[in-house]
Every structure is written in structure tokens, then in C-alpha cells.
């Protein structure tokens, strides 16, 4: 451990750039953007953006800051999208999505991280706001389309079928629009009980892996056609990789992900991305989240373990585990051979460089 400093409540991951480690926290019944010195953990600035958020499944912010150049863009759990200076945390612009689009918050709070593509910032404004592109420089609305209720997944950008597409995973399914003007390109219905489409679609070249819990399962799509074609699917109670709220990762032809329902045992699976065949399963691994780098899964568990697992399609191979954190659901961040993790109270920086 290089350093450990007070953080705050919430589940936002830590974005690292320009020697800044930036995240969202809840303190004193308010939501804050906090910037730390990535090298030593010293708090450089904290900017309040919204009132605190209480929820029966966890209080505080959900989304992760997006850093581009001198600016950081954040999505509050309760509505505001804010652009701030990375250096000092001054607010450049602020737009409350729920007020702007006369929408209501979704049951477990706005969770999608802002997506930047070119000069546009893509967001999902709640229950009736549809999908929106903002001008990243001033927050003005460039286009708005559809009336989809938001779910909890972050949108993704891909160039496929000759077009730049922005793919949103809303409460009713997958919606792809043209990046430049919001023209609807295709839809795939994806109903999920409680509208909990949580995991961000995983782009793999011109393929896309999509999964949800609540006994929905997973599908691998081919994005070279409009609408996309199904390459393989594994739906229902026995879905091969039912990622409920922890995103899967991909390396060298294989998917790695935590599979299982919210109130059931969670297993770590390795799946052949070409055909959906299960390669191995580590039963009852538990709830957690992961980041992939250099052939390893850097994982945190809800119970507080930090775990290192080899991304080996032949066998489950755990190479390190330490009990470190309190309860958390936050994806670890790797930067400059350091691992940034957090729980509901502290932010930690770990040296994971090979000696």
C-alpha cells in the first residue's frame, strides 16, 4: 500500500490522468467531485455538485468521472452533469438533466458515466428523457432522440456498418443512433425485470457482447450489419455469462466475467467468445468487479478482498489475494503500475509493479 486516505460513500470508480485521481463521493449529505494527487493521495480540491442520495441498495454516487485534457465531466446520481477544470475543480458548466428534460430519476439513481466522442458528450436523462448529446464545451443540447427510460449502463461508441454509432443500453433494450445527429439506426428489444440493464455493452472489434441478470442471459452480436446479427446466445436461467452488475472483460478470444443473480451465488466464468462455450468456472467466487491488464484480472470483491487471477482460458489460477477493503462494488483502476481502489470510507493506492 502506497497510501490510504479518507474518501466517502458511493460506488464511483477512480479516473486517473495528469497526475490526478478523481472520483465522486458522498460526504456530509452532499455529493462531491474529489481530486487527489495520484502519487501521494493528498486532496487537491473538492467541489460540491448535488445533494446527497439515499437508497436502500446503497447511498451516494454511482458513475465514474470522464477526463479529457484539462477538463473532467461527471454525472451526478441525482441529475446534474458537470464539467470542471482538472487543475483546480472550478465549474465550467452545469446542467441538471432531470430538470432540463422534465424527467424523474430512475429507482437506483443515474449511473451511466458520461461518454465523450469528438465534441459531443452523451448522457441518459432519467425516466422519460430519452438519449441526449450535449456540446462538451458549454453543455448545450446538440440533439435529443427517443423517449426511452434510462437504465444503468454507460453508452459506448463504435464505427461499424460504415457509420459512427453510439449504442445506449436503456430500460427497454439496445438503441443505436448516429453520433452526429441522433438518427435512430437500429433497436434490439432487451426487457429485464426491474429494468436493471446495468453492464456496459462490451465492444470487441465489430462484435458486441451484451448481458443482464434477472434470468435474461447474454448474446454476442455481429455489428457489421444493421440491425446486428446474433452470433451466439445463451439466454435464460442457464445463461453461460449472466453478468448482473459487474462488466465482463475480453482477451485473446475469451471472456471473463462474474456470473449469477443478485441474490444467488456468483461464479467467475471463462467463456469462449467465438461460440459461448464455458471453459471453466470458479464456483462461489462472490460478488466483485474486475479490470484486465497484461494477462491478469485485477479484482475486488464486495467483501473487501483484492484478488489477482491469471487470464488463462485453460484453468482458474489465482496468484494473489489480500483482505484490504471494506464493503465495496467499485471497479479497480490501473494507472502507471498502480492500482486505485476504494470502499465506502477510504481510497487506496497499491503498488502492483513486478519486482
Q: What is the tens place of the pLDDT at every residue in 32-79?
A: 999 999 999 999 999 999 999 999 889 999 999 999 999 999 999 999
DSSP letters of 118-133? TTEEEE--TTS--EEE
Q: Could you give the CA distance from residue 246 to residue 309 in angstroms, rounded to a whole number?
A: 16
| pLDDT-based confidence at residue 6 (cuts at 50, 70, 90) | very high
Whether pLDDT at 177 is above 90: yes
Q: What is the tens place of the pLDDT at every residue in 196-205?
A: 999 999 999 9
The arithmetic mean of pLDDT across residues 149-170, rounded, is 97
Q: Exposed, middle or buried, 255 (CB in 10 Å: 0-12/13-18/19+)?
A: buried
Helix spans in the chain (H): 97-100
The arithmetic mean of pLDDT across residues 279-296, rounded, is 96
The full set of domains in the chain, from first to last, is 1-111 (2.40.128.630)
Whether pLDDT at 125 is above 90: yes
Percentage of the chain beyond pLDDT 70 is: 99
Q: Could you give the CA distance from residue 75 to residue 82 in angstroms, rounded to a whole number?
A: 7
Q: Could you give the CA distance from residue 157 to residue 145 in angstroms, rounded to a whole number?
A: 16
- Bridge partners for 160 per DSSP: 163
**Main-chain phi, psi angles of 340, to 5 degrees:** -105, 120
Contact assessment for residue 280 and residue 270, using Cβ atoms and an 8 Å cutoff: yes
CA dist 130 → 94, 148, 177 (Å)? 19, 5, 12
> Residue 59's pLDDT is what?
95
The arithmetic mean of pLDDT across residues 333-338, rounded, is 96
Whether pLDDT at 355 is above 80: no
Q: What is the tens place of the pLDDT at every residue in 66-108?
A: 999 999 999 999 999 999 999 999 999 999 999 999 999 999 9
> Residue 245's pLDDT is what?
87
Residue of 303, 289, 318, 307 lying closest to 13 (CA atoms): 289
The arithmetic mean of pLDDT across residues 223-244, rounded, is 96
Q: Could you give the CA distance from residue 98 to residue 115 in angstroms, rounded to a whole number?
A: 18
Amino acid at each position: 500500500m502506497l497510501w490510504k486516505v479518507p474518501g466517502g460513500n458511493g460506488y464511483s470508480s477512480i479516473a486517473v490522468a495528469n497526475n490526478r485521481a478523481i472520483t465522486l463521493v458522498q460526504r456530509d449529505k452532499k455529493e462531491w467531485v474529489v481530486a487527489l494527487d495520484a502519487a501521494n493521495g493528498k486532496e487537491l480540491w473538492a467541489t460540491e455538485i448535488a445533494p446527497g442520495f439515499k437508497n436502500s441498495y446503497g447511498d451516494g454516487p454511482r458513475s465514474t468521472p470522464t477526463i479529457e485534457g484539462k477538463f473532467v465531466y461527471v454525472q451526478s446520481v441525482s441529475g446534474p452533469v458537470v464539467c470542471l477544470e482538472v487543475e483546480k475543480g472550478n465549474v465550467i458548466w452545469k446542467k441538471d438533466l432531470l430538470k432540463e428534460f422534465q424527467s424523474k430519476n430512475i429507482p437506483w439513481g443515474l449511473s451511466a458515466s458520461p461518454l465523450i466522442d469528438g465534441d459531443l458528450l452523451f448522457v441518459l436523462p432519467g425516466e422519460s428523457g430519452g438519449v441526449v448529446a450535449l456540446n462538451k464545451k458549454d453543455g448545450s443540447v446538440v440533439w435529443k432522440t427517443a423517449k426511452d427510460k434510462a437504465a444503468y449502463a454507460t453508452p459506448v461508441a463504435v464505427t461499424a456498418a460504415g457509420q459512427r454509432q453510439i449504442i445506449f443500453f436503456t430500460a427497454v433494450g439496445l438503441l443505436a443512433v448516429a453520433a452526429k445527429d441522433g438518427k435512430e439506426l437500429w433497436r434490439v428489444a432487451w426487457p429485464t425485470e426491474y429494468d436493471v440493464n446495468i453492464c456496459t455493452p462490451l465492444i470487441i472489434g465489430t462484435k458486441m457482447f451484451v448481458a443482464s441478470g434477472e434470468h435474461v442471459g447474454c448474446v454476442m452480436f455481429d455489428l457489421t450489419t444493421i440491425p446486428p446479427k446474433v452470433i451466439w446466445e445463451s439466454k435464460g436461467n442457464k445463461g453461460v455469462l449472466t453478468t448482473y452488475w459487474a462488466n465482463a472483460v475480453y482477451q485473446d478470444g475469451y471472456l471473463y466475467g462474474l456470473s449469477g443473480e443478485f441474490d444467488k451465488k456468483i461464479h467467475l466464468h471463462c467463456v469462449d467468445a467465438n461460440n459461448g462455450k464455458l471453459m471453466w468456472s470458479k464456483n462461489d467466487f462472490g460478488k466483485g468487479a474486475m479490470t484486465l491488464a497484461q494477462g491478469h484480472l485485477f479484482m475486488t470483491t464486495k467483501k473487501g478482498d483484492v484478488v489477482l487471477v491469471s487470464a488463462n482460458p485453460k484453468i482458474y489460477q489465482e496468484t494473489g489475494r489480500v483482505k484490504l477493503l471494506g464493503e465495496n462494488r467499485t471497479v479497480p483502476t490501473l494507472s502507471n503500475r498502480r492500482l486505485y481502489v476504494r470502499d465506502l470510507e477510504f481510497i487506496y493506492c497499491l503498488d502492483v509493479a513486478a519486482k
